[in-house]
Structure 1
């Protein structure tokens, strides 16, 4: 069908090193949006586009297209690509930094600001949440409206709405007590799961490709206070599956991370940057386990008690679905 052909073209072209293929990719994505009954192909094409490893090789071209094609369907996808690259973990630090700078530069133009706000909203990507929160009171009414419209989907609280203290201002024991006792919001907790990059190492759905320890049913094993402790003080009790393994290979390379799969003849691990590495067991020279968790301490230091409690509420809600 024409929709299958468009999705197939996106899959092939997005993996090209030739940036001249980008306009065709964006045009195909825009065409799929207008094609009736093409929901499945549209979802597949978007997945190919936003997850393509080579997308970051074209960040300069995408930044330029996002700025020059404002208001067009292709420009919308270019802006979404820039937002995606600005939040991509485990990729090129250069493309991530340049994409963030492109957003910062575009923020001085109301039309570009709206384009990036809408891109983040459509992607449910929290990378510019702080900017969007400030834009609630933007002097340009169209910008303020776009920011407030995006707030619901991104679960952004209005400035000053959350009066609870930040975790970093509390002693560990006090933070644990407050977070455990406080009632948050499940929807906000889902957004915090992404903002705190929990999704870099964890999944909550069996339908997703499994990464690190699965959290979809974690609340069946851990009580609320235990969950809070595992998140706020990860080195106190290292959760099963999160032991930090060190692998020294016969070729001189070393890897540190938690094991995601060691069935068969190979071992797969995920490191602190969420990058995955796979090597054959026969290539291992030495393997050891560190006494500390790979999960970094202070992950929620910049979040409030209400936000941390909302994360717990979200994790607890998963077992009720």
Structure 2
């Protein structure tokens, strides 16, 4: 078994890198190799960054780019802000891009709740803006991610004395300043009567590519997979449009606690040492129980260590993940889900 906390043996590291980067191998096999490599990032940072760097432009097989996007938005990076701050200052542009992308996402990711990590990421960015090379990298990331939270920082550099920074700012601004959708699709989700909102979503065509962007930007990937080839987390969404209507999916997104998928009711465990563990029970034995959290990590709890166990009435999925989105955004997300398969 490979431990994410131990360095990979050199021969295995080489094999995973070779498989992940070999265009002659099946894409799903390459994605599995890359995902396995990425799972050990705490001890194999340089190898992981080298394997992910070619994917940071969003080019390549979707299954591989998806592994990069999940890595870049992983909320667990909040524990290692200093590591990614260092990467963002690296002399090598690909390494800077990896570090800067993680920092930007720690600030914009709605499921990152560590305020200290957000503050540290902001502090790191304040330093990075002072270097033209780092500033250009940040602007590239902001533009590619359409991170509108940084619009003011982008506008402040449109006339930067460094020509490279100014050009990067104009490119980022062009992506951020694209006008909202016209017509019913531009209608904001917040404040609309629910029934009217559902009808508007059903009547609006969706852009699957935009929906995939939202799936990542809104951190849906943290709790859900869209392929059976990915490590299980919460409810698998591949092929879900074959089982539920667009109206039902809309309700699940906007009212996550209204109906919770059978088998995915989360449970809270309070341990005798004061620790709390929340997630889905995936195995229960006589003496212990396996609990998988929304990030896909499984913890084995000894029943003798459990002081309190209770089923959660509310969904582990928070409400408000589509705050600031439009009807067209929600329609796009639904259209993307319709493109996924269960096999």
Task: Tell me the TM-score normalized by structure 1.
Answer: 0.69
Counting matched residue pairs gives 287
Residue in structure 1 matching 2:265, options 218, 222, 243:
243
Residue in structure 2 matching 1:4, options 14, 21, 35:
14
Match of residue 131 from structure 1 = 150
Distance in 1 between residues matched to 2:74 and 2:249, nearest whole Å: 34
Judged with a 3 Å threshold, the aligned counterparts in structure 2 of structure 1 residues 181 and 105 are, in CA distance, closer, same or farther, namely farther
Please tell me whether residue 206 in structure 1 is matched to residue 215 in structure 2.
no
Residue in structure 2 matching 1:182, options 168, 184, 204:
204
Please tell me whether residue 158 in structure 1 is matched to residue 183 in structure 2.
no
Distance in 2 between residues matched to 1:269 and 1:254, nearest whole Å: 13
Q: Choose 217-226 or 169-178, whichever is displaced more.
A: 169-178
Contact 2:272–2:307 under 8 Å retained in 1: yes
1:191-202 equivalences under 5 Å are 191-202=213-224
Distance in 1 between residues matched to 2:117 and 2:257, nearest whole Å: 33
Root-mean-square deviation (CA, aligned residues, Å) is: 4.5
Match of residue 142 from structure 1 = 167
1:45-77 CA distances to partner (integer Å, 9 max, x unpaired)?
x89x9799997676446535634x5xx4x2431
Contact 2:84–2:102 under 8 Å retained in 1: no
Match of residue 305 from structure 1 = 327
1:94 deviates by 3.3
1:213-224 equivalences under 5 Å are 213-224=235-246
1:14 deviates by 6.2
Task: Tell me the TM-score normalized by structure 2.
Answer: 0.65
Residue in structure 1 matching 2:301, options 280, 285, 288:
280
1:252 deviates by 4.7
Please tell me whether residue 84 in structure 1 is matched to residue 102 in structure 2.
yes
Distance in 1 between residues matched to 2:84 and 2:272, nearest whole Å: 41
Please tell me whether residue 269 in structure 1 is matched to residue 308 in structure 2.
no
1:90 deviates by 6.3
Contact 2:234–2:296 under 8 Å retained in 1: no
Contact 1:79–1:115 under 8 Å retained in 2: yes
1:177-235 CA distances to partner (integer Å, 9 max, x unpaired)?
21222112100000111111111101112222111110012111101111101111122
Distance in 1 between residues matched to 2:291 and 2:271, nearest whole Å: 13
1:244 deviates by 3.1
Distance in 2 between residues matched to 1:235 and 1:76, nearest whole Å: 41
Distance in 2 between residues matched to 1:64 and 1:188, nearest whole Å: 31
1:76-125 CA distances to partner (integer Å, 9 max, x unpaired)?
3134223214435669653443223333554466543321233467xx7x
Contact 1:242–1:295 under 8 Å retained in 2: no
Judged with a 3 Å threshold, the aligned counterparts in structure 2 of structure 1 residues 65 and 218 are, in CA distance, closer, same or farther, namely closer
1:148-185 CA distances to partner (integer Å, 9 max, x unpaired)?
79x5xxxx671344561211131222222212221121
Higher helix share: 1
SS of the counterpart of 1:169?
coil
